[in-house]
Amino acid sequence: MTRQTRADGSLRHLLTLEGLSRTELTMLLDRAQEYVRPLGVRPPVSRALAGITVANLFTEPSTRTRVSFELAAKRLGADVANLEMQLSSRTKGESMLDTVFTLESLHVDVFVIRDAEAGVPGAVAASVAPHVSVLSAGEGSVAHPTQGLLDALTIRQRKGRIAGLTVAIVGDIRHSRVARSAFHALATLDVAELRVVAPAALLPGADEFRGAARHTDLDAGLRGADVVMMLRIQRERMQDEAQLDAAEYFREFGLTSERLRLAKPDALVMHPQPMNRGVEIASDVADGPQSAIRDQVRNGVAVRMAVLATVVRP
């Protein structure tokens, strides 16, 4: 695995939350909290990253995450280039690296990379010059570290703490980079109990999610939880692997307001979006008073600002 830190221990890349210490995670969350602002309030103009160039390399379409990174970079005064180059480790590795070296020579200082397959962000991070940083914006089913941070930040804001809480993650855990990064953050931040809840075919392998409780029954998974994180389910997976159609999936694993009553009365409901309303989550729950879904999006910009400001040296 590519090292994320410099020789002096400072964070250089952010490819995964796995291996970050409690102190490192807490510093990132604290820094992000400083960038959180209420909607409609104009931000103080920052030029902290003036002269820095951030390249968004997204080989999977994701307007939402791309715009979140783009606005985070612009709000710190960085220049942003959006690129549609193919960066695939399936194609000849050298031509992928030629592209990266070209951008590096164009004075790109930070690469934000999203790719549907595992390995690309790490391969780029292992190859770039020492002053360049690589941020994963989603890598296969491996990791989505800024999503994990924004999930942790959202819980901390709304619950006051993470330590001691019971968190249930529900959905296609097996293929979910969101679940993996949430697990890495929350386990390190001393969550009391982490539960993964899914149809048996969508539970993770036995060597993953160490210490997490596994449930194939949603009711059992929800009982007494402080936080319920619902995942987006892909229709193909639901049918091919879980052998359920949308209506059956909703009946067995969809979060309704009735079911939510099994969790603590003030349990938080989260979702990384985009939602399949009526498949993994009922509309009234998504829009209800316990939902923190919009907070997650707002916190995403703050987290990305914090990560950019952390990896770029002054």
- In angstroms, the CA 304 to CA 174 distance is 26
301, two tokens: 């910009």
Per CB under 8 A, 11 contacts a second copy: no
Spatial contact of 38 and 32, defined as CB atoms under 8 Å apart: no
* 232 in active site: no
Give the residue, chosen from 9, 265, 274, 289, that forms a contact with a second copy under the rule CB under 8 A: 274
* 144 in active site: yes
**For a second copy, what does the binding mask look like between residues 60 and 89, x meaning CB under 8 A?**
---xx--xx-xx--xx---x-x-xxx----
* 92 in active site: yes
Per CB under 8 A, 289 contacts a second copy: no
> Angle, nearest 10°, between helix axes 145-159 and 177-188?
50
* 156 in active site: no
Q: Which of residues 134-163 bind a second copy (CB under 8 A)?
A: none
Q: Which residue is associated with the tokens 């570290």? A: 145
Handedness of CA 290, 225, 183, 180 (dihedral sign): negative
Per CB under 8 A, 109 contacts a second copy: yes
Give the residue, chosen from 3, 22, 30, 98, that forms a contact with a second copy under the rule CB under 8 A: 98
> Which residue, 104 or 280, has its beta carbon nearer to a second copy?
104
Residue 45 CB, nearest approach to a second copy (Å): 5
Per CB under 8 A, 24 contacts a second copy: no
Per CB under 8 A, 232 contacts a second copy: no
- In angstroms, the CA 133 to CA 123 distance is 12
* 114 in active site: yes
Residues that bind a second copy (CB under 8 A): 37, 39-40, 42-45, 47, 50-53, 55, 63-64, 67-68, 70-71, 74-75, 79, 81, 83-85, 92, 94-95, 98-99, 101-107, 109, 129-132, 273-275, 277, 283, 294-298, 300-301
